[in-house]
Chain A
Amino acid sequence: DGGITQSPKYLFRKEGQNVTLSCEQNLNHDAMYWYRQDPGQGLRLIYYSQIVNDFQKGDIAEGYSVSREKKESFPLTVTSAQKNPTAFYLCASSIRSGLGYGYTFGSGTRLTVV
């Protein structure tokens, strides 16, 4: 079955450490996205990628980095520069950006700083 796989489901990080969240899709989608969800805040866009080897900052990119070396993969690194990284992170993909429909979401990674 086609879909998006995020791993791990739960992640604990010590302060000052970088951590990488995985996102893999087998839908042959060109566009991929990372969102952050905090209680009562909805989903906020961190980074998006319209095509391989290209990515753009979203509304809250500070303290995060991404890469898009393969069409299927869009990993997100939460760096030590991110002041409040504890949140629920969702990855999504679509056939291409700008369509406004056909988004598929992963099941999320819950990151906790200890």
Chain B
Amino acid sequence: GIQVEQSPPDLILQEGANSTLRCNFSDSVNNLQWFHQNPWGQLINLFYIPSGTKQNGRLSATTVATERYSLLYISSSQTTDSGVYFCAAINQAGTALIFGKGTTLSVSS
């Protein structure tokens, strides 16, 4: 089946720093996504990015489908960026999202 692996598992930053989160995925997938889970557990979709690059404010994401990886960039991090970042891809049956184990980000002021 599709495996989704994320790195690093944990990341601690000072406010204002930049960071890069990585997601490696096996097999061919067309539907890679990035999510942010806030400290209260709410999961919010950040990017739907099967290939190419997208930007939304201080966040951007790039997926290189041929090399089976995706990167999430966070620039000028803020304390509100803290939480867990997940990447996910559609399973082989095409019926549900399969998630990586996440990167836990802590941004301190």
Residues of A within 8 A of B (CB): 33, 35, 40-45, 48, 50, 56, 58, 88, 90, 92, 97-103, 105, 107-108, 110
Question: A42 and B99 in contact (CB under 8 A), knowing A100-B90, A101-B33, A103-B45?
Answer: yes
B residues near A110, Cβ cutoff 8 Å:
41
Min distance, Cβ A112 to any Cβ of chain B, angstroms? 14
**What is the count of residue pairs linking A and B with beta-carbon distances less than 8 angstroms?**
63
In the complex, what's the smallest C-beta–C-beta distance from A40 to chain B, in angstroms?
6
The 14 listed contacts between A and B (C-beta, < 8 Å) are: A33-B96, A35-B99, A41-B101, A42-B102, A50-B95, A97-B94, A97-B95, A100-B32, A100-B89, A100-B90, A100-B97, A101-B48, A102-B48, A108-B41
Q: Is the CB of A107 within 8 A of B42?
A: yes
Give a binary string over B66-109; 1 marks a CB under 8 Å from any A CB, 0 the rest.
Answer: 00000000000000000000101111001111111110000000
Whole-angstrom CA separation of A108 from B40 in the bound complex: 9
- Alpha-carbon distance between A93 and B41 when the two chains are bound, in angstroms: 16
Interface size class of B (residues with CB under 8 A): 20 to 34
How far is B90's CA from A56's CA once the two chains are assembled, in angstroms?
A: 15
* B residues whose Cβ falls under 8 Å from a Cβ of A: 9, 30-33, 40-45, 48, 50, 86, 88-91, 94-102
* A90 contacts B43, C-beta separation under 8 Å: yes
Given contacts A100-B30, A101-B31, A107-B40, contact A48 B102 (CB under 8 A): no
Q: Which residues of B contact A90 (CB under 8 A)?
A: 41, 43
Nearest Cβ on chain A to B109's Cβ, whole angstroms: 25
- Report the minimum CB–CB distance from B86 to chain A (whole Å): 6
B100→A42 contact, CB < 8 A: yes
Report the separation of the CA atoms of residues A31 and B91 in the bound assembly, to the nearest whole angstrom.
15
A62 to B78, CA, bound (A): 41
A43, A92, A108 pick with most chain B CB within 10 angstroms: A43
Q: Report Cα–Cα, A41/B9, bound state, in Å.
A: 11
Pick the residue among B9, B50, B86 that contacts A100 (CB under 8 A): B50
Q: Which residues of A contact B42 (CB under 8 A)?
A: 105, 107-108
Q: Do residues B90 and A103 form an inter-chain contact, with CB atoms below 8 A?
A: no
